[in-house]
Structure 1
Amino acid sequence: MKKYFPILLDLEKKDILVVGGGKIAYRKIKTLLNYGAEIEVITPQIVEKKIDLLFEEKKINITLREFKDSDLENRFLVVGATNNKKLNKKIYELGDSKNILVNNITTKEDLNARFCAVHKGEDFQVAISTDEGDPKRALELKKQIEKSLEK
């Protein structure tokens, strides 16, 4: 079992690639945009139309084509957000070999960066993650923390 070190990263103006155009890709994009990331989406097809809206608002760039190995060049973080487990694994293996942070939505093993459930207050953040556990449990804990902080 891998052990993950909790860390907060400055994503302002960092070059981030999201491979995929569905609902999970959209959620990852929205999260990353909240932290000032510069995002390129590469996908043969946009499934989640909200991604198109982000492009129209000039918040992201979109390249409509299949992923190429060279797409990883000069990336700080890559998110493999396709429904193709083999492709997401390939993205992880290539990225990890280049010391690029890679989040993979289809597995708990083939990634070296995980997203946390985050509660953001006015002057603090609380990030919750699980070790090999169910990410839904982290979301439940986040909701409990939010309720306790409202009091």
Structure 2
Amino acid sequence: MFIDISEKEIVVVGGGNIAARRVKTLLLFTDHITVIAPRLHDSLAELETEGRITCLQRAYREGDISKAHIVLAATDDEEVNRNIGEECNVLGQRCGRKILFNTADDRRLCDFYFPAVVQSDDIVIGINSGGKNPAKVKEIRRRLGSGPF
């Protein structure tokens, strides 16, 4: 399913390689991205300097996701990621809307999965295996990305 996220508030908790990859993909579709992490991957710091994302360089705090529509937990701490997912559920019930959640470390907790994306002009292709075969997804993305369509 493709949805319009251009006006959705997205919070990414974590500042490492996975967060950087996710942010890079999201920037194809929106510029409403806030990253929360004590340390930032160089590419995230550069995106903040360019004014393309907002960064809060500190640890995650309860309530940081209160205005988010989509939350990605990409920290290296499974408990923090799980707590953020639980907070999404509680806040969503409280405010009567679903906060979509994705975590890098446990696909069972995810409301959605990140596809590999190939984009050419106005055409976007998303490739996903539901977490079952990431190597195959990567290969297909590489093959599609190298040719015109």
TM-score, with length taken from structure 1: 0.85
> Percent identity between the aligned chains?
28
On the 8 A contact 1:17/1:75 being kept in 2, the answer is: yes
| Distance in 2 separating the partners of 1:102 and 1:140 | 26
The reply to whether residue 77 of structure 1 matches residue 80 of structure 2 is: no
List aligned pairs for 1:1-151, cutoff 5 A: 7-46=1-40, 48-97=41-90, 98=92, 99-146=98-145, 150=148
- In the alignment of these two chains, the number of paired residues is 143
Q: Is the 8 A contact 2:70 2:99 kept in 1?
A: yes
Deviates more, 1:134-143 or 1:16-25: 134-143
Query: Where does structure 1 lack aligned partners over 5 or more consecutive residues?
Result: 1-6
3-state DSSP of counterpart to 1:71: coil
- Report if aligned partners of 2:31, 2:53 keep a CA contact under 8 Å in 1: no
Q: CA deviation at 1:146?
A: 4.1
Offset, 1:61 = 1.0
Aligned to 2:95: none
When the two chains are superposed, the root-mean-square deviation of aligned CA atoms in Å is 1.8
* Aligned-pair CA distance for 1:96: 3.3
